[in-house]
Homo-oligomer: A and B are copies of this chain.
Amino acid sequence: MYVSVIGGEQCSKEIYELAMEVGRRIAEMKAILITGGRGGVMEAVCRGAKEKNGITIGILPSNDRKEGNKFLDYAIVTGIGYARNILVVLNGDIVIAIDGHYGTLSEISFALEYGKPVYGLLSWEIGIKNFNNVEELFEEIEKDIRENL
């Protein structure tokens, strides 16, 4: 199972902590984590996943692997700029949006356009299930996974 996490390159310390916790939970689910590979929320979630020995893949906008954060197992370069946002979303069986600005909104809406399940954590209120804490977020995700089995 692949889980894409989307969120801003800049974030508050509080959001960074929440994103780390999301990363730990994804690793504990034995899912592969997909992100945009850079800083902020993307870094935090990879960092959390690596604490629990998860697998982390970053899909980068440039063609320079060094642009990736240091918690990536695999850095995939693209050279297609922000069009890589679409790839981040397409690679998730589910998508989790944490906080975020317009870049994140574009990813949420792409995910919805492609019919992907999208879960928000303190994110945009545009018709997605949005949660205030990590515990409730994963209760819902795990329930949805069980029911689709």
A149 within 8 A of B: no
A90 at the interface (CB under 8 A from B): yes
Closest residue on chain B to residue A105 by CB atoms: B109
A87's nearest neighbour on chain B, judged by CB, is B78
Docked-complex contact B112 and A102, CB < 8 angstroms:
yes
Report the bound CA distance from A78 to B88 in whole Å.
9
B87 and A101 contacting across the interface, CB-CB below 8 Å: no
From B112, B113, B126, A126 is in contact (CB under 8 Å) with: B126
Give the oligomeric copy count: 4
- What residues on B are CB-neighbors of A101 within 8 Å? 113
Asked if A19 is at the interface of the complex by the 8 Å CB criterion, the answer is: no
Nearest B residue to A111 via CB reads B102
A63 at the interface (CB under 8 A from B): yes
CA distance A59 to B75 in the complex (A): 12
Interfacial chain B residues near A79, Cβ < 8 Å: 80-83, 86-87, 90
| A32 CB-CB contact with B under 8 Å | yes
Report A's interface with B, CB cutoff 8 A.
2, 32, 57, 59, 63, 65, 74, 76-83, 86-87, 90-91, 101-103, 105-106, 109-110, 112-114, 124, 126
Counting from the closest, the 6 A-B pairs by CB-CB distance are: A106-B109, A105-B109, A102-B113, A102-B112, A80-B80, A102-B109
- List, sorted by A's number, 8 A–B pairs whose CB atoms are closer than 8 Å: A59-B76, A63-B114, A76-B76, A77-B90, A79-B81, A105-B105, A105-B109, A105-B112
